[in-house]
Chains A and B, each alone.
Chain A
Amino acid sequence: MYIIIIGGGRVGYYLTKALLDENHEVLIIEKNAALCNTIKEEMGSICLQGDGCEAATLEEVGTGRADMFVAVTGDDEDNLVACQVAKHKFNVPCTIARIRNPQNEALFKKLGIDVTVSTTDIILEYIEKEVPTHPLTHLLTLSEQDLEIVKVRIPPAATTVNKSVRELPLPKDNKLILVISRDRKPRIPTANTVLREGDQIVALTSLETEQKLRAALTST
Protein backbone atom coordinates (compact mmCIF):
# COMPACT_ATOMS: atom_id res chain seq x y z
CA MET A 1 0.00 0.00 0.00
CA TYR A 2 1.04 3.60 -0.57
CA ILE A 3 0.74 5.47 2.71
CA ILE A 4 1.37 9.19 3.17
CA ILE A 5 2.20 10.47 6.63
CA ILE A 6 1.93 14.13 7.63
CA GLY A 7 4.24 15.09 10.48
CA GLY A 8 7.70 13.67 11.08
CA GLY A 9 7.73 14.00 14.86
CA ARG A 10 8.03 11.02 17.18
CA VAL A 11 4.69 9.50 16.21
CA GLY A 12 5.30 9.92 12.48
CA TYR A 13 8.85 8.61 12.77
CA TYR A 14 8.03 5.35 14.58
CA LEU A 15 4.93 4.82 12.49
CA THR A 16 6.99 5.08 9.31
CA LYS A 17 9.59 2.68 10.66
CA ALA A 18 6.95 0.08 11.46
CA LEU A 19 5.16 0.49 8.12
CA LEU A 20 8.43 0.20 6.15
CA ASP A 21 9.16 -3.02 8.01
CA GLU A 22 5.85 -4.33 6.72
CA ASN A 23 6.97 -3.47 3.17
CA HIS A 24 4.56 -0.59 2.57
CA GLU A 25 5.49 2.34 0.40
CA VAL A 26 5.67 5.26 2.85
CA LEU A 27 6.23 8.97 2.41
CA ILE A 28 6.48 11.58 5.17
CA ILE A 29 5.77 15.26 4.69
CA GLU A 30 7.38 17.40 7.37
CA LYS A 31 7.66 21.21 7.63
CA ASN A 32 10.85 21.32 9.67
CA ALA A 33 13.99 20.97 7.51
CA ALA A 34 16.21 19.63 10.31
CA LEU A 35 13.73 16.89 11.22
CA CYS A 36 13.37 16.07 7.55
CA ASN A 37 17.12 15.64 7.10
CA THR A 38 17.43 13.38 10.15
CA ILE A 39 14.75 11.09 8.74
CA LYS A 40 16.37 11.07 5.30
CA GLU A 41 19.80 10.25 6.70
CA GLU A 42 18.39 7.31 8.57
CA MET A 43 15.72 5.89 6.30
CA GLY A 44 16.58 7.18 2.82
CA SER A 45 14.73 9.67 0.66
CA ILE A 46 11.25 9.02 2.03
CA CYS A 47 10.74 12.48 3.52
CA LEU A 48 9.70 15.62 1.71
CA GLN A 49 10.01 19.02 3.31
CA GLY A 50 6.75 20.87 2.93
CA ASP A 51 3.29 21.70 4.21
CA GLY A 52 0.99 18.68 4.20
CA CYS A 53 -2.06 20.94 4.08
CA GLU A 54 -1.07 22.45 0.74
CA ALA A 55 -2.70 20.94 -2.32
CA ALA A 56 0.40 21.67 -4.44
CA THR A 57 2.63 19.64 -2.11
CA LEU A 58 0.16 16.78 -2.01
CA GLU A 59 -0.08 16.84 -5.82
CA GLU A 60 3.70 16.57 -6.05
CA VAL A 61 3.83 13.38 -3.97
CA GLY A 62 1.06 11.69 -5.92
CA THR A 63 -1.62 11.78 -3.25
CA GLY A 64 -4.16 10.75 -5.90
CA ARG A 65 -2.81 7.20 -5.85
CA ALA A 66 -2.40 6.95 -2.06
CA ASP A 67 -4.34 4.18 -0.31
CA MET A 68 -4.06 5.77 3.08
CA PHE A 69 -3.39 9.23 4.47
CA VAL A 70 -2.30 9.64 8.09
CA ALA A 71 -1.99 13.06 9.76
CA VAL A 72 -0.07 12.89 13.05
CA THR A 73 1.22 16.41 13.67
CA GLY A 74 0.78 17.85 17.16
CA ASP A 75 -1.95 20.26 16.05
CA ASP A 76 -5.55 19.12 15.62
CA GLU A 77 -6.32 21.88 13.13
CA ASP A 78 -3.42 20.92 10.85
CA ASN A 79 -4.39 17.25 10.97
CA LEU A 80 -8.00 18.08 10.12
CA VAL A 81 -7.17 20.31 7.17
CA ALA A 82 -4.58 17.90 5.74
CA CYS A 83 -7.09 15.04 5.87
CA GLN A 84 -9.87 17.13 4.35
CA VAL A 85 -7.66 18.21 1.45
CA ALA A 86 -6.59 14.57 0.89
CA LYS A 87 -10.18 13.39 1.04
CA HIS A 88 -11.91 16.04 -1.05
CA LYS A 89 -9.23 17.01 -3.54
CA PHE A 90 -7.49 13.68 -4.02
CA ASN A 91 -10.20 11.16 -3.04
CA VAL A 92 -7.92 9.18 -0.73
CA PRO A 93 -10.06 6.22 0.44
CA CYS A 94 -8.84 6.16 4.04
CA THR A 95 -7.84 9.18 6.12
CA ILE A 96 -6.61 8.90 9.70
CA ALA A 97 -6.11 11.84 12.07
CA ARG A 98 -4.49 12.16 15.45
CA ILE A 99 -6.48 14.28 17.91
CA ARG A 100 -5.36 15.99 21.09
CA ASN A 101 -8.60 17.63 22.18
CA PRO A 102 -11.11 14.78 22.71
CA GLN A 103 -13.98 17.15 21.93
CA ASN A 104 -12.79 17.33 18.34
CA GLU A 105 -13.61 13.69 17.74
CA ALA A 106 -17.27 14.37 16.96
CA LEU A 107 -16.35 17.17 14.56
CA PHE A 108 -13.76 15.10 12.68
CA LYS A 109 -16.24 12.23 12.30
CA LYS A 110 -18.92 14.59 11.03
CA LEU A 111 -16.52 16.03 8.48
CA GLY A 112 -15.78 12.60 7.05
CA ILE A 113 -12.37 11.75 8.53
CA ASP A 114 -12.42 7.94 8.49
CA VAL A 115 -10.46 7.18 11.64
CA THR A 116 -9.60 9.41 14.60
CA VAL A 117 -7.13 8.52 17.30
CA SER A 118 -7.41 10.54 20.48
CA THR A 119 -4.35 9.93 22.62
CA THR A 120 -5.96 11.78 25.52
CA ASP A 121 -8.97 9.43 25.45
CA ILE A 122 -6.79 6.34 25.21
CA ILE A 123 -4.77 7.29 28.26
CA LEU A 124 -7.96 8.20 30.11
CA GLU A 125 -9.43 4.81 29.30
CA TYR A 126 -6.44 3.05 30.82
CA ILE A 127 -6.66 5.21 33.92
CA GLU A 128 -10.35 4.30 34.31
CA LYS A 129 -9.51 0.62 34.03
CA GLU A 130 -6.55 0.78 36.42
CA VAL A 131 -8.15 2.92 39.11
CA PRO A 132 -10.73 0.70 40.85
CA THR A 133 -12.52 3.60 42.52
CA HIS A 134 -13.56 5.07 39.18
CA PRO A 135 -17.31 4.49 38.96
CA LEU A 136 -17.67 4.45 35.15
CA THR A 137 -15.50 2.56 32.67
CA HIS A 138 -15.84 2.60 28.88
CA LEU A 139 -15.84 -0.90 27.45
CA LEU A 140 -16.79 -0.49 23.80
CA THR A 141 -17.85 2.21 21.37
CA LEU A 142 -20.34 1.43 18.61
CA SER A 143 -19.36 4.42 16.53
CA GLU A 144 -21.84 3.93 13.70
CA GLN A 145 -24.81 4.03 16.04
CA ASP A 146 -23.24 6.66 18.35
CA LEU A 147 -23.67 4.27 21.26
CA GLU A 148 -21.30 2.97 23.88
CA ILE A 149 -21.18 0.13 26.33
CA VAL A 150 -19.98 1.08 29.80
CA LYS A 151 -19.50 -0.54 33.16
CA VAL A 152 -20.74 1.26 36.29
CA ARG A 153 -19.97 0.23 39.84
CA ILE A 154 -22.55 1.02 42.52
CA PRO A 155 -20.67 2.79 45.33
CA PRO A 156 -21.54 1.97 48.97
CA ALA A 157 -23.22 5.30 49.75
CA ALA A 158 -25.23 5.51 46.53
CA THR A 159 -28.93 6.32 46.80
CA THR A 160 -29.56 3.51 44.34
CA VAL A 161 -28.53 0.80 46.82
CA ASN A 162 -31.56 -1.44 47.58
CA LYS A 163 -33.62 0.25 44.85
CA SER A 164 -35.17 -1.69 41.99
CA VAL A 165 -34.36 -0.94 38.35
CA ARG A 166 -37.93 0.38 37.90
CA GLU A 167 -37.23 3.23 40.36
CA LEU A 168 -34.07 4.46 38.63
CA PRO A 169 -34.25 7.73 36.67
CA LEU A 170 -32.50 6.24 33.63
CA PRO A 171 -31.97 8.55 30.65
CA LYS A 172 -33.98 7.79 27.50
CA ASP A 173 -32.75 4.89 25.38
CA ASN A 174 -30.25 3.76 28.01
CA LYS A 175 -30.44 0.04 28.75
CA LEU A 176 -29.02 -2.01 31.58
CA ILE A 177 -27.66 -5.16 29.99
CA LEU A 178 -26.11 -7.09 32.84
CA VAL A 179 -25.79 -6.88 36.62
CA ILE A 180 -22.79 -8.60 38.16
CA SER A 181 -23.05 -8.88 41.93
CA ARG A 182 -20.09 -8.99 44.29
CA ASP A 183 -20.06 -12.79 44.25
CA ARG A 184 -19.48 -12.44 40.48
CA LYS A 185 -22.85 -13.91 39.53
CA PRO A 186 -24.13 -12.25 36.34
CA ARG A 187 -27.87 -11.61 35.98
CA ILE A 188 -29.90 -10.03 33.23
CA PRO A 189 -31.77 -7.24 35.00
CA THR A 190 -35.55 -6.85 34.89
CA ALA A 191 -37.65 -3.99 36.23
CA ASN A 192 -37.78 -5.79 39.59
CA THR A 193 -34.04 -6.40 39.97
CA VAL A 194 -32.78 -4.75 43.15
CA LEU A 195 -29.35 -3.14 43.10
CA ARG A 196 -26.86 -3.87 45.86
CA GLU A 197 -23.72 -2.13 47.01
CA GLY A 198 -20.74 -3.12 44.86
CA ASP A 199 -22.84 -4.38 41.95
CA GLN A 200 -21.21 -3.89 38.58
CA ILE A 201 -23.64 -2.89 35.85
CA VAL A 202 -22.95 -3.21 32.16
CA ALA A 203 -25.10 -0.67 30.32
CA LEU A 204 -25.79 0.67 26.88
CA THR A 205 -25.63 4.47 26.69
CA SER A 206 -24.59 7.30 24.39
CA LEU A 207 -22.00 10.03 24.60
CA GLU A 208 -24.71 12.61 25.32
CA THR A 209 -26.51 10.66 28.06
CA GLU A 210 -23.49 8.99 29.67
CA GLN A 211 -23.19 11.55 32.49
CA LYS A 212 -26.93 11.28 33.26
CA LEU A 213 -26.66 7.50 33.46
CA ARG A 214 -23.72 7.83 35.80
CA ALA A 215 -25.68 10.23 38.00
CA ALA A 216 -28.75 7.97 37.94
CA LEU A 217 -26.75 4.98 39.14
CA THR A 218 -24.08 6.40 41.44
CA SER A 219 -25.34 9.65 42.97
CA THR A 220 -25.03 9.82 46.73
Chain B
Amino acid sequence: MKVVIMGCGRVGAQLAVLLDAGGHTITILDNDAYSFRRLAPTFGGTALFGNGIDAEALKRASIEEADVFVAMTQGDNRNIISAQIAKHIFNVPRVICRIYDPLRQELYDTLGLEAFSPTTIFAHLVQEKIEG
Protein backbone atom coordinates (compact mmCIF):
# COMPACT_ATOMS: atom_id res chain seq x y z
CA MET B 1 0.00 0.00 0.00
CA LYS B 2 1.03 3.60 -0.53
CA VAL B 3 0.96 5.47 2.75
CA VAL B 4 1.55 9.17 3.42
CA ILE B 5 2.37 10.05 7.03
CA MET B 6 2.32 13.64 8.25
CA GLY B 7 4.50 14.33 11.29
CA CYS B 8 7.83 12.63 11.93
CA GLY B 9 7.70 12.60 15.70
CA ARG B 10 8.36 9.49 17.77
CA VAL B 11 5.14 7.77 16.78
CA GLY B 12 5.16 8.92 13.15
CA ALA B 13 8.78 7.84 12.64
CA GLN B 14 8.25 4.47 14.26
CA LEU B 15 5.11 3.84 12.23
CA ALA B 16 6.98 4.77 9.03
CA VAL B 17 9.80 2.35 9.80
CA LEU B 18 7.39 -0.48 10.70
CA LEU B 19 5.28 -0.07 7.57
CA ASP B 20 8.37 0.28 5.39
CA ALA B 21 9.74 -2.98 6.80
CA GLY B 22 6.35 -4.53 6.05
CA GLY B 23 6.85 -3.79 2.36
CA HIS B 24 4.67 -0.70 1.96
CA THR B 25 5.60 2.46 0.07
CA ILE B 26 5.97 5.26 2.62
CA THR B 27 6.27 9.02 2.29
CA ILE B 28 6.73 10.87 5.56
CA LEU B 29 6.25 14.63 5.75
CA ASP B 30 7.46 17.08 8.39
CA ASN B 31 8.01 20.84 8.48
CA ASP B 32 11.17 20.37 10.52
CA ALA B 33 13.88 18.51 8.60
CA TYR B 34 15.71 17.80 11.88
CA SER B 35 12.91 15.45 12.93
CA PHE B 36 13.91 12.98 10.20
CA ARG B 37 16.82 11.94 12.46
CA ARG B 38 14.25 9.73 14.19
CA LEU B 39 13.96 7.48 11.14
CA ALA B 40 15.99 4.29 11.51
CA PRO B 41 18.85 3.88 8.98
CA THR B 42 16.99 0.91 7.48
CA PHE B 43 14.10 3.16 6.39
CA GLY B 44 13.77 2.91 2.61
CA GLY B 45 10.86 5.30 2.05
CA THR B 46 10.79 9.00 1.22
CA ALA B 47 11.26 11.71 3.83
CA LEU B 48 9.91 15.02 2.57
CA PHE B 49 10.26 18.49 4.05
CA GLY B 50 6.93 20.31 3.92
CA ASN B 51 3.86 21.53 5.74
CA GLY B 52 1.07 18.97 5.70
CA ILE B 53 -1.68 21.57 6.07
CA ASP B 54 -0.74 22.89 2.63
CA ALA B 55 -2.36 21.14 -0.34
CA GLU B 56 0.72 21.80 -2.51
CA ALA B 57 3.02 20.03 -0.06
CA LEU B 58 0.62 17.10 0.11
CA LYS B 59 0.63 16.88 -3.69
CA ARG B 60 4.42 16.75 -3.66
CA ALA B 61 4.11 13.85 -1.23
CA SER B 62 2.06 12.08 -3.96
CA ILE B 63 -1.10 12.11 -1.87
CA GLU B 64 -3.12 11.68 -5.07
CA GLU B 65 -1.88 8.09 -5.38
CA ALA B 66 -2.02 7.29 -1.65
CA ASP B 67 -4.18 4.48 -0.26
CA VAL B 68 -3.84 5.70 3.31
CA PHE B 69 -3.12 9.09 4.90
CA VAL B 70 -2.08 9.32 8.55
CA ALA B 71 -1.99 12.64 10.47
CA MET B 72 0.44 12.33 13.38
CA THR B 73 1.63 15.80 14.35
CA GLN B 74 1.50 17.20 17.88
CA GLY B 75 -1.32 19.58 17.01
CA ASP B 76 -4.90 18.27 17.05
CA ASN B 77 -6.16 21.00 14.76
CA ARG B 78 -3.32 20.56 12.30
CA ASN B 79 -4.10 16.86 12.14
CA ILE B 80 -7.80 17.58 11.69
CA ILE B 81 -7.38 20.06 8.83
CA SER B 82 -4.86 17.94 6.92
CA ALA B 83 -6.94 14.79 7.40
CA GLN B 84 -9.96 16.60 5.99
CA ILE B 85 -7.91 17.92 3.03
CA ALA B 86 -6.80 14.34 2.34
CA LYS B 87 -10.34 13.00 2.61
CA HIS B 88 -12.38 15.72 0.91
CA ILE B 89 -9.98 17.33 -1.58
CA PHE B 90 -7.79 14.37 -2.57
CA ASN B 91 -10.32 11.59 -1.88
CA VAL B 92 -7.78 9.35 -0.15
CA PRO B 93 -9.63 6.05 0.54
CA ARG B 94 -8.49 5.77 4.17
CA VAL B 95 -7.64 8.66 6.47
CA ILE B 96 -6.42 8.14 10.03
CA CYS B 97 -6.07 11.05 12.41
CA ARG B 98 -4.64 11.40 15.91
CA ILE B 99 -6.61 13.75 18.18
CA TYR B 100 -5.46 14.08 21.79
CA ASP B 101 -8.63 15.84 22.96
CA PRO B 102 -11.25 13.10 23.54
CA LEU B 103 -14.22 15.42 22.92
CA ARG B 104 -12.83 16.58 19.58
CA GLN B 105 -12.01 12.97 18.69
CA GLU B 106 -15.65 11.95 19.28
CA LEU B 107 -16.93 14.79 17.11
CA TYR B 108 -14.64 14.03 14.17
CA ASP B 109 -15.35 10.34 14.45
CA THR B 110 -19.02 11.14 13.83
CA LEU B 111 -17.97 13.45 10.99
CA GLY B 112 -16.38 10.51 9.19
CA LEU B 113 -12.69 10.73 10.09
CA GLU B 114 -11.06 7.63 11.44
CA ALA B 115 -9.95 9.48 14.56
CA PHE B 116 -8.39 8.02 17.67
CA SER B 117 -7.41 9.63 20.93
CA PRO B 118 -4.15 8.43 22.55
CA THR B 119 -5.37 10.10 25.74
CA THR B 120 -8.40 7.83 26.02
CA ILE B 121 -6.58 4.71 24.84
CA PHE B 122 -3.71 5.17 27.26
CA ALA B 123 -5.95 6.01 30.21
CA HIS B 124 -7.93 2.81 29.63
CA LEU B 125 -4.74 0.82 29.24
CA VAL B 126 -3.33 2.01 32.56
CA GLN B 127 -6.71 1.50 34.24
CA GLU B 128 -6.72 -2.13 33.05
CA LYS B 129 -3.17 -2.64 34.32
CA ILE B 130 -4.13 -1.32 37.75
CA GLU B 131 -7.44 -3.06 38.10
CA GLY B 132 -6.02 -6.20 36.53
Contact = CB atoms under 8 A, between A and B. Distances in A.
A54 B107 CA distance: 11
Closest 4 pairs between A and B when the two form their complex, measured CB to CB? A77-B81, A77-B77, A55-B103, A81-B77
Contact of B89 (A55, A88, A107): A107
A110 interface: yes
Contact of B111 (A76, A78, A88, A110): A88
B104 A81 contact: yes
Contacts, number: 53
Contacts of B80: 77, 80-81
Nearest to B106: A55
B33 to A, nearest CB: 21
A76 B88 CA distance: 16
A111 interface: yes
Interface string A180-199: 00000000000000000000
Contacts of A56: 103
Interface string B72-85: 00011110110011
A54 B81 CA distance: 16
Contacts of B104: 53-55, 81, 85
Interface residues of B, number: 20
Interface of chain A, main secondary structure: helix
Contacts of B101: 54
A115 interface: no
A54 B84 contact: no
Interface of A: 53-56, 75-78, 80-81, 84-85, 88-89, 101, 103-104, 106-107, 110-111
Contact of B81 (A55, A80, A88, A106): A80
Given A101-B54, A110-B88, A84 B78 contact: no
A54 B111 contact: no
Contact of A84 (B56, B103, B107): B107
B85 A54 contact: no
Contacts of B68: none
B103 A78 contact: no
A54 B99 CA distance: 12
6 contacts: A53-B77, A81-B76, A84-B111, A103-B56, A104-B81, A107-B85
B53 A76 contact: yes
Contacts of B107: 55, 84-85, 88-89
Contacts of A103: 54-56
Interface in B11-66: 53-56
* Most A CB within 10 A of own CB, among B55, B76, B77, B111: B77
A211 B53 CA distance: 24
Contacts of A77: 53, 75, 77-78, 80-81
Nearest to B108: A84
A75 B56 CA distance: 17
* Most B CB within 10 A of own CB, among A53, A75, A81, A104: A81
Contacts of B111: 84, 88
A167 to B, nearest CB: 34
Contact of A80 (B56, B75, B77, B103): B77
Contacts of B88: 107, 110-111
